[in-house]
Each structure stands twice: as structure tokens, then as C-alpha cells.
Amino acid sequence: MNSDLSTLSFERGLAAEPVSTSADRALDRRHDLDWIRVGAFGLLILYHVGMFYVPWDWHVKTSQPVEWLEPVMQLTNPWRLTLLFLVSGAATRFMADKMKPGALAGLRTVRLLPPLILAMVLIVPPQSYYQLVENAPGFTDSYLTFWGKYLTASGHWCKDGECLITPTWNHMWFVAYLFLYTLLLALLLWLAPKAFKAAEAALDRLPAWALIGAPVAVLAAYRIVLGADISHDLINDWYNHAVSLSAFLFGFLTAKSPGVKAGFEKARWMTLALWLASWAGWATYAWIWRGDDVVPPEALRMAMRGVYALNSWMAISAVLGFGARHLTRGGPVLTWLTLAVFPFYIIHQTVIVVAAHHLHKLGLWQPLEAVVLIAVTVAGCLLTNEVARRVVFLRPLFGLKLQSALARRPPAFA
């Protein structure tokens, strides 16, 4: 996920014919996918601020949950991370063109593993600490005492039969999964490169109805057969793996497809309408049947898993379609944002958790508190990014290349 989260960059397009055309050259840099990634991570920050207020379980919570936020959160909940895996797969497609599978695996290891380790050791622990402060009866450890137990998995913090397992990766699960998916992809590229070429060509020829409809059927089948639970447990997270890995591979196989890009663009208004309609259906269902003690009829539950799949893919299709149509320009702002995305992602949730816990003690008017929380989060992300990119030894720990970003223009989505 980086552009420095440059590991998430898109650099060259494709030639659909032996002689390059203007349409081919328009795909040489996928500015649309750069913008989509930046926008998706921006939404993620707002979503995690919303998690403090919505009546769903999270690390820390307001004492005044806001129920009407539930349908608002459902606008992005079914699809935001699936879209990010798709964009990450597309980024990897452009990277793979420039290097052998082994080099691809090595580059991703260098870019993703140090930030993951840093986060699990230093950045994520405050999230677990404040979760215990707010939820564990009798928890009185200082932060340093907690941190020692966190690192050695000796805390034994349990409530109602559920225990907090440490060390943990919390929001950095995305980076862990992306790292492993890339290693798997590199292995498959080494073993069967011709199969990937054939699959890419087949997807490029898909008619628009199949491009829009077939993934819905696949996503619905995953949800119906594998269940809907997402645990972020690497070993027991089958539904999440099925969806996320499929999106990653789809992005990889279609990143250079003019047919797929045109198909999403052509269907953008239809998919937007279907996204909003399916959101209304899903959000209504989730609102009526909310609560752990409310169990919907099994037939309705299965049907709504199909609606959830429809909502997820229609949203992604609409975003890709409108992005292909309108997000065609790059520039210095996009370059800066592309470089800043990974440091923002690494630090944002910890800033939200710590700031929310302490801000809530001030008893501010809730709308003001939310605005301040967003402002503090953005400021914390900006500060972290500026420090990380200026301190040489911190750059690889935040997914940035060793050389200064100011010294050369980065490739799009490297």
C-alpha cells in the first residue's frame, strides 16, 4: 500500500496494438488510480474517526453513541478495503513489468515488512493500552508496564472469555495481507507466467455486462459459502482472504486493460445508481436487524449477503468508472499525496485512539469534539510524514525510499 506507499504506484500503460496510439499513451500513467487510492485512504481516516462515535465495538468509544451514523458508515463499509486491495494489485502489475518475480518479492519485503514491524512494536501498542484502560476491569498498569507485557505476550488480559492477544497488528493487517499476497503472486508469476498473460487477455475481452455482473456473483458466493466473519487472523480469516486476494489479483490482471477501463467508464452511471439503491437496501436491513440479540430469518440473511456483494462491487465499479472519466490529471499535489499516504496510514489510527480518549474527557459539545478529533488526526499525520521523510533512518520504517523525495520526482505508483 504505498507509493512510498510508492509500493502502490502505477507507472506505465500498455500498447493494445504494435503501434502506440494516443489512447495507449493515456494509460502510461494511471492518475485515476493514484487519485482513487489517495481518496480511499482519506475516507479511511474519516471512517475510523466515525468508529469512535458509531455504536459498534472498537478500541475506544464515546459515552454518547450516535446511532444515525450507522447507515452513513455503511456507505463505504462493504467496499473500501476491497477497493484498496484492487488498487494495490494494479500497482503491483506495473511494478512486475520492470523486474523479475524474485526482485518484486524483494522490493515489497523491503517496503512493507519494516513498517509492519515498527507498527506492531511501537505504533499499535497505544491502541491496545487505551482499549484496556476503557474496557478491562481493574486495569491499572502504567504504559511502560503494559508495553513490556504486550511485547512478551504475558498480559493475559481477558474479559467475558475473550482475551487481547499481543503483539498485534490492528489496522496494519492490511499491510501484512498485502505483503503475503505479493509473495504468493511472485511465486505464481515465476511458476506460470503464461497463465497470467492468458487471463489478462481474457479479462480484456469481457463484455461490460460480465465485467459488472460476474464479480457480484463471485462475491456473493464467497459470503454465502464462507460466511461473513472477518477476524484479521491470518490463519482463520477465509472469507476476508477470498475477497481481498481476488480483488488484488483482479487489479493485477486488469491494470493494463483498455477494455476493462472503458467498460467501467461506460457503466459508471448505471453502477452509481445500483450502488445507491443497494446501499439503501443493505443499510435498511442492517438498521432494522441491528443488535446482537436480534436474529433475522435465515432466508433474508442469505438474500442480503447477495445485496451486500452487489453493493460492494457496484461502488467499486462506479468509483473506477468515474475515476477513469474525470481523474486524468497529475501534478505536484498528487505527487505529494502519493508519497504521504503510507505514513498517514501507519500513524492515523493510533492518533485517533489516543486523541479520542483524552478529548472525550474534556466534555466538549460532540460535533465540536468530532471536528477537533479530525483536525488533531490530520495534524498528527502531517507531522509524522514530515519527520519521517526528513530523517533518513526513519524513511524505510515508514515505507519511503531512502533517498529524499525532494531529490527526484517519484514514479507514479511505484
The answer, as to whether pTM is greater than 0.85, is yes
- Is there a domain that residue 216 lies in? yes
Domain assignment present for 351 = yes
Three-state SS across the chain? CCECCECCECCCCCCCCCCCCHHHHHCCCCHHHHHHHHHHHHHHHHHHHHHHHCCCCCCCCCCCCCCCHHHHHCCCCCCHHHHHHHHHHHHHHHHHCCCCHHHHHHHHHHHHHHHHHHHHHHHCHHHHHHHHHHHCCCCCCCHHHHHHHHHHCCCCEEECCEEECCCCCHHHHHHHHHHHHHHHHHHHHHHCHHHHHHHHHHHHCCCHHHHHHHHHHHHHHHHHHHCCCCCCCCCCCHHHHHHHHHHHHHHHHHCCCHHHHHHHHHCHHHHHHHHHHHHHHHHHHHHHCCCCCCCCCHHHHHHHHHHHHHHHHHHHHHHHHHHHHHCCCCCHHHHHHHHHHHHHHHHHHHHHHHHHHHHHCCCCCHHHHHHHHHHHHHHHHHHHHHHHHHCHHHCHHHCCCCCCCCCCCCCCEC
pLDDT digits (tens, 9 = 90+) for 122-145: 999 999 999 999 999 889 999 999
Instruction: Say if 105 falls within a structural domain.
Output: yes
pLDDT score of 118 more than 50: yes
**Number of structural domains the chain divides into:** 1
Share of the chain above pLDDT 90, in %: 84
Residue 306 within a domain: yes
> 27: pLDDT confidence band, cut at 50, 70 and 90?
low
In this structure, is residue 145 part of a structural domain? no
Predicted local distance difference test score (pLDDT) of residue 30: 85
Is residue 61, in this structure, part of any structural domain at all? yes
Domain that holds residue 72: 22-124+169-398
Domain assignment of residue 13, yes or no:
no
Q: Is residue 256 part of a domain?
A: yes
